[in-house]
Amino acid sequence: MLNKLFRKLNKDNIRPSEEFEMVLSDNLNETVEMLLKIIGDSNDIVQRDFKIASSESAALFYIEGMSDIDSIEEDVLKPLQELKPEGMNEPKDETLKKAIQDSISLSEIDIFETFDDAILPFLSGKSLLVVDGLAKIIILGTIAYENRGIEEPQSEVVIRGPRDGFVENIQTNIVLIRRRIRDPNLTIQLGKLGRRSKNDFAIIYIKGITDESLVEEVRYRISCIDRATIEESGTIEQLIEDNVLSPFPQILQTERPDKVAAFLNNGQVIILVDGTPFSLVAPITFEQLFKSPEDYYDRWQIGSLIRMLRYSAAFIALFLPSLYIAMISYHQGMIPTTLALSIAGAREGVPFPAFVEALLMELTLELLREAGVRLPRAVGQTIGIVGGLVIGDAAVRAGIVNPIMVIVVALTAIASFAIPAYNVSITLRMLRFFLMFLAASFGLFGIIIGYIAINIHLVGLKSFGRYYTSPFAPYRFIDLLDTVIRLPLTINKKRNDSEHTADAVKQK
Amino acid sequence: MKAGKQQTAYQIGITEMAVSLIAMIVGTGVIVLPRALAVEMDTTDGWITVIVSGGFVMLFVFIITKLQQKFPGRNFLQFLGEGIFGKWLSKLLALSFFVYFICVISFLSRFLAITIDIYLLPQTPTEVIVMILLLLSTYAISKGVQGVIHLNIMFTPIVLSVAFLIIIFEIPEFDLLNLRPIMAEGFIPLFKGLKETLFSFLGIEILFFLMAYMKKSDIRAAPLLISIGIISFLYFSIIIATFAIFGLNSTKVITFPMIDLVKEIEIPGGVLERVEPIFITIWFMSMFNTIAVAHLLADKLLKKELLPFVKGEILTALAVFIIFINTFITKSYTELSLFGQWISTHGGVNIIACILVVFVTLWYRTKKNKTSIQEEQA
């Protein structure tokens, strides 16, 4: 039923025509007039009239700030103006074209015959040259790149591993990947998305490792996107994922080129979008969200230990508050007597049932975290200390919560930070409240109900045709070993989920 | 949201099938088997019976696999349905199995409700528990065969490891003298217990239905026999543990010997005072697996075989309603045990009838084919 609804919502409306039905003329004034009509009233568009070889009048357009003015002066205007007037005789347009091509010292010169083709490159920062007597538009590659320096990504910090991260510029990002995989089979397909924003995006995969039908599927889903603007790769993620109603991320996002290279090598497809450092990886399985590239850089024992620690962290982040609620309200008999007594003593002054108490503290915690993220960095830390220590201590003293609840909440918070993928930790935070509610209603029975319900959901979930819960189910022994612990590199010779890759073996 | 191009029909792998078999069979049997054996046999020789009946079940599984190899990609009902006479027979068998599965779900739900009522939630009405359980299993079967099988694979390792862990924890408490004398009263008690142990292996009937979803090359008996072996070993160790710890006479009066075994455990360090709530919680996963598989098959039987002309999800809702009503027909635990006996007999008869019918049909059709080929040649 929902599918029907989505189809209805996505039904292709009549797109407004994007074509400018105008014919180029060889009269300079007419062309300029038309151009001004198209690019309209924007003040940042600079028109520079000049004469080529002091005889042919010409006009150069560029967008202030997007084009490299030095380059325009040095490589375009100067050589053209200093061109010798000799040899400028008939047939006029051919000689002109040749003269211009010969004298301009830029590597990127395109000549277009229609406005449609020329406008898009012009709007992305190239300059546009029209010459009297030439019914063509010359586009000159004078884009000025303004780049943030390549820094370590804030969202995925590692101790051991490369310190470079993606930036907002897609070209730079592609270079970062190419540096890592110098394989001629590395395929990078560029395209544009967004009816108005025309964002550049790239689909990247390694031919011969990635299943062709998977690439086909990714391409198909992306081409189905019809939106005016693509703000971030997250927008694409939501538009191409398999199940919109699921709280679980079905596409992985990362800022790390080394992680991306590893995924490429595993036969997955990467989607890069211009304007954001976050790249998308598809398809993924649930366990891949718990892996950090660092696991593979250290010795395998260390990797294994940290990985098991991470799984327990996920378990704590998801279940600890609900277990606390269940034990306090339903199964007091399970708690050791001395501990039960001390909890009872601590809870003596607390007026609320355990569920309300836990809910209060968890909500406070989420609030603190959200506030900490939004605040300026220096103030953010202060908020952490003030919130954590002062509110926690004051709440206990005021008798709103008991000290053990504070321990539970703090442990949960720390555990949820130990998960490498930010979006999964949010999902677990959300499900935690669901489980807390169930635990408050049915105790341990409620928790197991919640656990089974989550599992049923996960089992039905697919990411680009690949089972989300693999390698647990469908069961793959070697992959499973590399999920729970980290196998030594000398043993693990197959790619993950090798059934879905064209080339299963990654080392001999 | 958009139809994936590369999604192909799901096929059960042989490992997945083997694990599902464990998931289906291991259920109530583990919890009540030692007591039933103690009452029935009046000796502590239950463990021998388990080994013997394990062998019998292996034979059954072997036969079923061999039969299934003759018609891969279809279940036996579809196979029977191809003949004129077989069509009615297949409808009859489908009805019989449908009733059986419905009763199994009711029995298990009631059993679970009772245990949860005793050990976890004394104040919650059992109706609520059963309702939640059925809602959950309806959600599970909405994911289809693939979903249910994958659930089995996710839960069974946890359940099995917990069960074996408990037994390992119990080893220091063992008093093997309780197991003696071995076969003091000869072979007769062994036969008495055979029925009981064979019934605790019920669940192999899912092979009739689920092996239709397997590739022909995957239909092999060995992994399935291994899972029967694992289950036999589990039953064997539980019976040994119960008798060794409680002795024959106490075992006779304990309702849920396995849960009482868990009560005996002392967790080193005293992190938890009592662990049986955790055991029941984990055991719930195993029971849920059994319920989900039975529910899936009941649902499929109703929709595909019995009432194929009714469209929509109304049948699923109807089945759940019948199960819910059926669950509360039994009033007490004693009645429930009787009901369980009745279901077990029904299930056993079903399995044997199926094997016979399929075998005869197969024999008849091969003979007919041979004669027709001979006629063509002549």
A473 touches B at CB < 8 Å: yes
State the pLDDT at residue B8.
Answer: 58
B288 touches A at CB < 8 Å: yes
**Is pLDDT of B5 > 50?**
no
B158 touches A at CB < 8 Å: no
How large is the average pLDDT for residues A499-506?
A: 71
Angle at which helices A422-460 and B126-141 cross, to 10°? 90
Closest CA relative to residue A176, chosen from A268, A294, A281, A261: A261
Query: From the list A216, A334, A459, which residue is nearest B143 (CB)?
Result: A459
Residue of chain B whose alpha carbon sits nearest to that of A450? B136
B122 touches A at CB < 8 Å: no
Percent of chain B with pLDDT over 90: 38
**Is pLDDT of A350 > 60?**
yes
Q: A387 versus B134: which is more confidently predicted?
A: B134
| C-alpha to C-alpha distance for B206 and B226, rounded to whole angstroms | 16
Q: A213 to chain B nearest CA, in Å?
A: 7
State the pLDDT at residue B378.
Answer: 64
| C-alpha to C-alpha distance for B195 and B33, rounded to whole angstroms | 11
Maximum separation of any 2 CA atoms in chain B, in Å? 83
Partner residues linked to A111 by β-bridges: A138
User: In degrees rounded to 5, what are phi and psi of residue A399?
Assistant: 80, 20
Residue B247 binned pLDDT confidence (cut-offs 50, 70, 90)? confident
Where does residue A405 rank: exposed (0-12), middle (13-18), buried (19+ CB within 10 A)?
buried
Q: What is the pLDDT of residues A395-454, one digit of tens each?
A: 888 888 888 888 999 899 899 888 888 889 889 999 999 999 999 999 999 999 999 999
Structure token digits, residue B190: 């062994």
- Highest mean pLDDT, choosing among A143-152, A490-499, B164-173, B181-190: B164-173
CA distances from A347 to A159, A350, A412, B357 (A): 41, 5, 20, 66
E strands in A124-237:
127-131, 137-140, 186-193, 199-206
How large is the average pLDDT for residues B228-234?
A: 94
Q: What is the pLDDT of residues B89-120, one digit of tens each?
A: 888 999 999 999 999 999 999 999 999 998 88
How large is the average pLDDT for residues A135-150?
A: 83
How large is the average pLDDT for residues B189-195?
A: 82
**Is pLDDT of A13 > 50?**
no
State the pLDDT at residue A3.
Answer: 55
B19 touches A at CB < 8 Å: yes
State the pLDDT at residue B4.
Answer: 41
**Is pLDDT of B375 > 80?**
no
Strand order in the sheet with A252-254: A186-193, A199-206, A269-273, A279-282, A252-254
| Inter-residue long-range contacts of B177-186, CB under 8 Å, 24+ positions, other chains counted | B178/B44, B178/B243, B178/B244, B178/B245, B178/B246, B178/B247, B178/B248, B179/B44, B179/B47, B179/B240, B179/B243, B179/B244, B180/B44, B182/B44, B182/B45, B182/B48, B183/B43, B183/B45, B183/B48, B184/B43, B185/B42, B185/B43
Structure token digits, residue B86: 């077989």
Which of A311, A448, A480, A484 should be substituted to probe chain B, the one whose Cβ sees the most B Cβ atoms within 10 Å?
Answer: A448
How many other CB atoms are there within 10 angstroms of residue B346's CB atom?
Answer: 17
**Is pLDDT of A497 > 80?**
no
State the pLDDT at residue A453.
Answer: 96
User: In degrees rounded to 5, what are phi and psi of residue A334?
Assistant: -75, -25
Q: What is the pLDDT of residues A281-298, one digit of tens each?
A: 988 999 889 988 888 888
**Alpha-carbon dihedral A210, A212, A214, A218, rounded to 10 degrees:** 110
The DSSP call for residue A168 is S
E strands in A95-168:
109-112, 127-131, 137-140
**Is pLDDT of A81 > 80?**
yes
Residue type, B52: V
| C-alpha to C-alpha distance for A387 and B155, rounded to whole angstroms | 40
How large is the average pLDDT for residues B267-277?
A: 81
**Is pLDDT of A25 > 60?**
yes
Q: Do A473 and B120 touch (CB under 8 A)?
A: no
**A64 contact partners, CB below 8 Å, separation of at least 6:** A44, A45, A46
Q: Do B132 and A442 touch (CB under 8 A)?
A: yes
| C-alpha to C-alpha distance for A253 and A290, rounded to whole angstroms | 12
**Is pLDDT of B130 > 90?**
yes
**Alpha-carbon dihedral B78, B81, B87, B90, rounded to 10 degrees:** -30
Query: From the list A242, A449, A469, which residue is nearest B150 (CB)?
Result: A469
| C-alpha to C-alpha distance for B56 and B300, rounded to whole angstroms | 29
How large is the average pLDDT for residues A132-150?
A: 83
Residue type, B283: W
Q: What is the pLDDT of residues A362-396, one digit of tens each?
A: 998 888 888 888 888 777 777 777 777 888 888 88
**Is pLDDT of B6 > 50?**
no
**Is pLDDT of B276 > 90?**
no
| C-alpha to C-alpha distance for B237 and B253, rounded to whole angstroms | 20
User: In degrees rounded to 5, what are phi and psi of residue A16?
Assistant: -65, 140
Which of A11, A241, A285, A331 should be substituted to probe chain B, the one whose Cβ sees the most B Cβ atoms within 10 Å?
Answer: A331
Kindly list the residues from chain B whose CB atom is less than 8 angstroms away from the CB atom of residue A340. 273
Kindly list the residues from chain B whose CB atom is less than 8 angstroms away from the CB atom of residue A213. 5-6
Q: Do B124 and A449 touch (CB under 8 A)?
A: no
Q: Do A217 and B146 touch (CB under 8 A)?
A: no
**Is pLDDT of A6 > 60?**
no
Write out the H or E segment, with its range, that includes residue A466. Answer: strand A466-467
Q: Do B5 and A337 touch (CB under 8 A)?
A: no
B143 touches A at CB < 8 Å: yes
What is the interface size between A and B, counted as CB pairs within 8 Å?
120
Q: Are B286 and B19 in contact (CB under 8 A)?
A: no
| C-alpha to C-alpha distance for B373 and B145, rounded to whole angstroms | 38
Q: B369 to chain A nearest CA, in Å?
A: 39
B132 touches A at CB < 8 Å: yes
Residue of chain B whose alpha carbon sits nearest to that of A223? B2
Kindly calculate the radius of gyration of chain A based on its CA atoms and give it in whole angstroms: 30
How large is the average pLDDT for residues A179-183?
A: 91
Q: What is the pLDDT of residues A88-104, one digit of tens each?
A: 555 666 777 777 778 88
Q: Do A465 and B151 touch (CB under 8 A)?
A: no
| C-alpha to C-alpha distance for A371 and A243, rounded to whole angstroms | 30
* Cis amide prior to A91 (ω within 30 degrees): yes
Q: What is the pLDDT of residues B320-359, one digit of tens each?
A: 999 999 999 888 888 898 998 899 999 999 999 988 988 8
Q: Do B4 and A214 touch (CB under 8 A)?
A: no
State the pLDDT at residue A4.
Answer: 55
* Cis amide prior to A376 (ω within 30 degrees): no
Residue B135 binned pLDDT confidence (cut-offs 50, 70, 90)? very high
Which of A239, A442, A456 should be substituted to probe chain B, the one whose Cβ sees the most B Cβ atoms within 10 Å?
Answer: A456
| C-alpha to C-alpha distance for A375 and A382, rounded to whole angstroms | 10
Closest CA relative to residue A260, chosen from A286, A276, A282, A230: A282
Q: Do A336 and B150 touch (CB under 8 A)?
A: no
Residue of chain A whose alpha carbon sits nearest to that of B280? A445
Kindly list the residues from chain A whose CB atom is less than 8 angstroms away from the CB atom of residue B6. 211, 213-214, 217, 464-465
Q: Do B13 and A474 touch (CB under 8 A)?
A: yes
Q: Say whether A196 sits in a helix, a strand or coil.
A: coil
